[in-house]
Amino acid sequence: MEFLKELGIADKNLGTSTGSNWINTTGSVINSYSPVDGNLIGSVVETDKAGYEEVIQSAAAAFIEWRTWPAPKRGEIVRQIGEALRAKKSALGQLVSYEMGKSLQEGLGEVQEMIDICDFAVGLSRQLYGLSMHSERPGHRMYEQWHPLGIVGVISAFNFPVAVWAWNSMLAWVCGDVCIWKPSEKVPLCSIACQNIVNEVFTRNLVPEGVSTIVNGGRELGEWLASDTRIPLISATGSTRMGKAVGAAVGARLGKSILELGGNNAIIISSEADLDMALIGAVFGAVGTAGQRCTSTRRLIIHDSVYDAFRDKLVNAYNQLRIGDPLDQHNHVGPLIDRDAVRQYQESIEKCKQEGGNFIVEGGVLEGDGYESGCYVKPCIAEVKNHFAIVQHETFAPILYLIRYSNIDEAISFQNDVPQGLSSAIMTLNLREAEQFLSQAGSDCGIANVNIGTSGAEIGGAFGGEKETGGGRESGSDAWKAYMRRQTNTINYTHKLPLAQGIKFDI
């Protein structure tokens, strides 16, 4: 495949990099099979302990120099990365689609997110502002400034194999940090491609070796990162179970963490919604990336008066979905990431039926021509109660739950009554309902939308959620502050030394 050659992906790849230097390690081999057709794309050698130590030492040495580069100069490097990504957008988008299984449009969209965050970070490099404050003591000046933390560990998930790394690394780099990236072992080749792109830019600009590093491996490698006192910040994206383990390990050493964990996202369909517009948001949110986004729509909370009409629209739309090769842009839905995900999908359907769920669009695994990988499933819809145990759980698959409500207070209560708190939405033309949904008594999620779905966040806003979603924030707004340490400074330019609070101390 031409896009593999363009991105420098070989049949066998080293998975450990201190930058432009790829390290031979003695780790096991990770084989990357495409969920699209089941074919082996390539292999990556895992990072062993010696390779990990070499990466850490390289990153620590690079930080000493990198932090002294002026932030706008670091921003210029990120600008060039954005240009390099523009040149490789088609190839990288195809790799994302083929290795992960999302549609080509979504693969290209993910690369566009990388480009967008580069643009954002370039501007940010001239806006790392601190505040100035008035001192209570005469002849004193107070202000705060922000300094880089050091090494940032980035643990990313399979469903966004490149964008989440970019959200973290581009901001961290303009802030003066260096990054160690541990991608999901399910999509390791995407990390090799990204490192190859970055290496070209860094080499051309004499960026210190170690500013961008990669380690590949499984759970044990993540544990090394989380427990390493030399890494002041860990940004981890994945399941709530994984996040609790990472958070506990980082917290035990008083490190900092950014946790982007599970979602159980709902759209409220009001009696005053534009049902045609709501249909687009609901269907894309539920079946986009085959339901494997942390912002995927899991629940539709629908008003009694429009329930039947909207249910019928959904069933009709689902009957028109085309499931197949995600690189074929005629298809709406690609495969799940692997057969383990298929098994979990089947188990979730069975649990839902056992609790009394009524499937109005049946699920199932697809077989035959074009489905040889065994990873293609049917998006399905079940009528349920919000308190069902399976509904309270995040199912990473295209299973959509329908729930009735009778008034807006009940709808918001249903929306909030799950352990997760990432994304939420309401479809309504009623201003009062919209404002109540966005108020202190409304959605308890980190993201709350009106008349758009739960999925598809823009990089300008801070991304993240509350409760079991972890509380972290990435990407836009002032999320950059998580990658830096705040320092308060007071300067006395007088000939006296008055103490704060009027304290007297005479010698």
Question: Which residues are part of the catalytic machinery?
Answer: 260
DSSP string, 131-169: -EEE-SSTTEEEEEEEEE-SEEEEE--SSSTTHHHHHHH
List, edge to edge, every strand of the sheet that includes 29-33: 12-14, 40-45, 29-33
Do 428 and 412 contact (CB within 8 A), yes or no?
no
Paired residues of 179 in beta bridges: 152, 212
**Residue showing tokens 């729509």:** 297
What does the H/E/C string look like for 330-397?
Answer: CCCECCCCCHHHHHHHHHHHHHHHHCCCEEEECCCECCCCCCCCCCCECCEEEECCCCCHHHHCCCCC
Determine the Cα–Cα distance for residues 66 and 44; give it in Å rounded to an integer. Answer: 29
Do 296 and 455 contact (CB within 8 A), yes or no?
yes
Contacts of 409 (CB under 8 A, 6+ apart): none
Phi, psi of 490 (to 5 degrees): -125, 130
Q: Record the tokens describing residue 161, joined without a space.
A: 């194999």
Determine the Cα–Cα distance for residues 102 and 380; give it in Å rounded to an integer. Answer: 18
Q: Could you tell me where the DSSP H helices lie in 269-338?
A: 275-287, 304-319
**How do strand 233-237 and strand 151-155 relate by DSSP bridges?**
parallel
Determine the Cα–Cα distance for residues 169 and 181; give it in Å rounded to an integer. Answer: 9
Do 75 and 205 contact (CB within 8 A), yes or no?
no
Q: Record the tokens describing residue 391, joined without a space.
A: 């509904």
